[in-house]
Amino acid sequence: MEQDNPQGDRIAKVLARVGIASRREAERMIEAGRVAVNGKRIDSPALNVTASDRIEVDGQPIAEAEPPRLWLYHKPSGLVTTEKDEKGRPTVFDALPEDMPRVMSVGRLDLNSEGLLLLTNDGAIKRRLELPSTGWLRKYRVRIKGTPSDETLAPLRAGITVDGERFQPMEVSLDRQQGANAWLTVGIREGRNREIRRAMEAVGLVVNRLIRVGYGPFRLGDLKPGEVEEVRSRVLRDQLGLDRDFQPATPPRPKRTARKSGPPKRR
């Protein structure tokens, strides 16, 4: 097989498609020598493969790609959004229902953040949903300590620079004052690391609760903490512009509750 073969797909894209890792993570796996094609270890992602090629990761053949699927998950506070945590903290993936297939998160929510987290079995969908160029609005309910005024919130609406990092203008509305705290609705389009918490701190406000309630067209709705719900194939197809022949691997399932205890889930 020639590396300049114009047919097929890039090897990293194929690995992402079957849920091995995101495309960027797959490229790192390739550079680390963990991927072989037709019995030969490769060290560059600049390679196209077709359905006739035999691909192995860590000596194991990859599974056939399932059709793209997407789930809504209500992440509770206290879970980290990572496959493995160096500090041994519980992860989102440890807590998912046993019958969930291998999935990747679309972006992250910090340890103390709650609410809507999208999960997918498809690396290409993950990449598409995370790209800033999609411009999808992420909406949050934010509880802050204090009594914010329009003057306090104005820099957030205009766009603010924090530690040399420029944050795009946020949509910020004051919903209600509740004793010593206030509830805000905040919308952002980039989702940088701890963006809302850092921006609030920059204008003198402290976030003590943060719940993501929307990601583009997808809503948290009445999902309870720990519940998972699959997005119907037609909704997924229409929102992401997937081919009309797309069919889900299985029919959409009812809401399922994540595990509360037990040994970490093998992934």
Return the residue matching tokens 């291998």. 102
- Token couple for 201: 């701190």
Q: How many CA atoms lie within 13 A of 106 on its CB side?
A: 28
Q: In angstroms, rounded to a whole number, what is the distance separating the alpha carbons of residues 193 and 64?
A: 34
Q: In angstroms, rounded to a whole number, what is the distance separating the alpha carbons of residues 259 and 267?
A: 15
The conformation of residue 49, written as its DSSP 8-state character, comes to E
Task: Reply yes or no on whether 99 is catalytic.
Answer: no
Residues 167 and 190 sit within 8 Å (Cβ to Cβ): yes
Q: In angstroms, rounded to a whole number, what is the distance separating the alpha carbons of residues 27 and 46?
A: 9
* Catalytic-labelled residue, pool 99, 110, 122, 245: 110
- Token couple for 189: 């389009």
Which residues belong to the active site? 110
